[in-house]
Amino acid sequence: MVQRLRNAGLQPTRQRLAVAQVMLARPTHLTADEVLKLLLAPASSAPAAIKNKAPDADSRAPISRATVYATLAQFAQAGLLRELHTGTGAVVYDSNPTLHPHWIDLDSGQVHDLPPEVALRVDGLDKLPAGLQIEDVQLMLRARRT
């Protein structure tokens, strides 16, 4: 993890390493508040959906809400994470920064990757006004389980 942060141009502070352990050790989609809960709460009291992502007690560092938000933004800026705007007001951070589609469970608020066999396309980008530079594309299905 230390080398991964250094390769991204980030100094591996104790707080960054704690956030990295939650966000970069396995595929995940979490909000900053979910990351903070994992970092501050004992693993046994973390919400079930994110309990297995909690760091070991030995690796926890004192960390503030502002530090978690700033660290996640730095990770996204460095290309380690991707910010997903779900329309719920909270930014969800994806540990896979590559362009890929998602779906959000409207009942739980959890974001998931669409299976690879599901293909979504955006056509007609060549018809956009001249001089427009696309910065990002986010495809997200909103669904409820039946």
Q: Does pLDDT of 94 surpass 70?
A: yes
Q: What is the mean pLDDT of the chain?
A: 87
Please give the model's pTM, rounded to 2 decimal places: 0.81
> Residue 145: its pLDDT value, please?
87
Fold of 2-143: Arc Repressor Mutant, subunit A (1.10.10)
Q: How confident is the model at residue 89 (pLDDT cuts 50, 70, 90)?
A: confident
Integer-rounded Cα Rg, in Å, for the chain is 17
Kind and range of the H or E element at 113? strand 111-113
**Would you list the domain boundaries of the chain?**
2-143
Q: How far is CA 76 from the centre of its chain?
A: 8
For residues 78 and 19, is the Cβ–Cβ distance under 8 A? no
> Residue 55: its pLDDT value, please?
55
Parallel, antiparallel or unpaired: strands 140-143 and 102-105:
parallel
For residue range 23-82, what is the model confidence (pLDDT) as tens digits?
999 999 999 999 999 999 765 555 554 445 555 555 555 799 999 999 999 999 999 999
* Contacts for 110 with CB less than 8 Å, ≥ 6 apart: 29, 49, 104
> Residue 13: its pLDDT value, please?
94
Q: What is the C-alpha separation between 103 and 101, in angstroms, rounded?
A: 7
For residues 72 and 32, is the Cβ–Cβ distance under 8 A? yes
For residues 46 and 55, is the Cβ–Cβ distance under 8 A? no
